[in-house]
Structure formats: structure tokens, C-alpha cells
Amino acid sequence: MYVIGSALFVIWMYGLMAILGLLCSPLLLGPRSWVRGCFALYRHLVFAGLRVLCGIRFEVRGRENIPAGPALVASKHQSMFETLAFWHILPDPAIILKKELKYLPFFGWYAMKLKNVAIDRSAGASALKAMLRAARERAHEGRQVVIFPQGTRVEPGAPESYKPGVAGLYGAMDVPCVPVALNSGLYWPPSGFIRKPGTIIIEFLEPIPAGLPRARFMEQLESRIETASLALLPDPQGQAQS
């Protein structure tokens, strides 16, 4: 039922990536602000296509919890949607990405020009040190660092452990951490290309202050994100919870 719209959206999203990636490629030689402008155009067009072709909109809750200055933003991760959406919502985020992504044509070029943070998961302690150093630099620039603490896309309601890297960032950056709950996987699944119509909710929760002990921080982070994300899923009668 949703195959045609989903297929057209995939063509639209990746076609735009290739076309704008080529057209804007000279901007890669200029200041980062030029690339931010091109990327903003890309996002607007992608989200317009998502709305028209797939019937998917998004709603942001808890805007009062969105930081104006440096912070760690730790979010549930259910689809590619939020990777784009955080750039649309936050003023100038730096997202923690797998190192492999920076080698992708177009996406990788612009991700690195925008000064996101790539991490080599296979490099162990050295990768963690590099990530912490880059995250501190981004925080000193007044930016928010976004991490998906489960380290992978997770099906809505499915269990997945929280990785220790988020605690390392929290301790090293010495800034508040804003947990984020969402339900994007209901409409834009972690895998596959079928999208279903509906409203994705991204909810910024009350910040966790800096300076908590590691174990207490991890407990609060997981509890807040999981509780709020589960509340955004349909109830047993099939109705979406508000």
C-alpha cells in the first residue's frame, strides 16, 4: 500500500543528495557556513518529500529543554530520520557518526565539512580518546554534541544496551546532558525502505545536570529515555499514546 510513495521518496532523497552534492561541491572549499546553507536546503526538500510522498510529519516537544549553548544530547535512535532532524532542530549540532560514513560519496564529504565527529569503533581506547577530544572542541565552540547511546538503530520497544561511550562524553565535556525520546521507527523503520504515514514525535526531556557519578548518570539517562520513548508507542489497543 505504501510501496510506491516510499520508493519515490527514496529516489527523491538520494537523488537530491547526488544533485545538490555535485552542485554545492565548490562550497566545500569555502567556509563551513556555505555548506550549512546547502545542507539546510537539502533538509527542507527531503522533509517536504517525506510529507508529500509518505504522509509523514514531525512534532518537537520539550523545546524549552533545548540548550542554547554547549550540551550533550543523548537520543534514542530508530531511523535515519533523526540524523537529519537534529540538524533541523538544533542550532549547530555535531553528531557522533561511525567512521565508515565519512567515506560515503556526498554524505561523508559534507558530514566532515560540517565538523561532525567520526569514531572508529574497532580502534578501542584510542578511538574513545579521539572522540572525547573532538567533543570537547565542539563544546568549546558552543555547539551541542549529539550521540545515540545505544550505538545502533533499534526497533521501537526493542531492548538494546546503552554503551559506555556516552558516560565518557558526559564526564569529559562537563556539560548538562539532554535525553531525547522519539518514535520515528513507527513510520520510518530502522531498516527497509517502506515508510508509513503518521507524525514522528521528538521529545527533549529535562536535562541531567553535569557532574553526576557515572553509574547514577547512566541509570537516569536510560530510565528517562526508555520510559518516555515507550510512552510514545501505541497502547495495547493500537492507539498512539499522547
Sketch the domain layout of the chain as residue ranges.
Answer: 57-231
Q: pTM here?
A: 0.90
pLDDT per residue of the chain (242 residues) written in tens, 0 to 9: 789 999 999 999 999 999 999 999 999 999 999 999 999 999 999 999 999 999 999 999 999 999 888 999 999 999 999 989 999 999 899 998 887 777 778 888 888 899 888 887 666 677 778 888 888 889 889 899 999 999 889 999 998 999 988 999 999 888 999 999 999 999 999 988 899 999 999 999 999 999 999 999 999 999 999 999 999 998 754 455 55
Q: What is the 3-state secondary structure (H, E, C) of the chain?
A: CCHHHHHHHHHHHHHHHHHHHHHCHHHHHCCHHHHHHHHHHHHHHHHHHHHHHHCEEEEEECHHHCCCCCEEEEECCCCCHHHHHHHHHCCCCEEEEEHHHHHCCCHHHHHHHCCCEEECHHHCHHHHHHHHHHHHHHHHCCCEEEECCCCCCCCCCCCCCCCCHHHHHHHHHCCCEEEEEECHHHCCCCCCCCCCCEEEEEEECCCECCCCCHHHHHHHHHHHHHHHHHHCCECCCCCECC
CATH match for 57-231 among 3.40.47.10, 3.40.630.30, 3.40.50.460, 3.40.1130.10: 3.40.1130.10
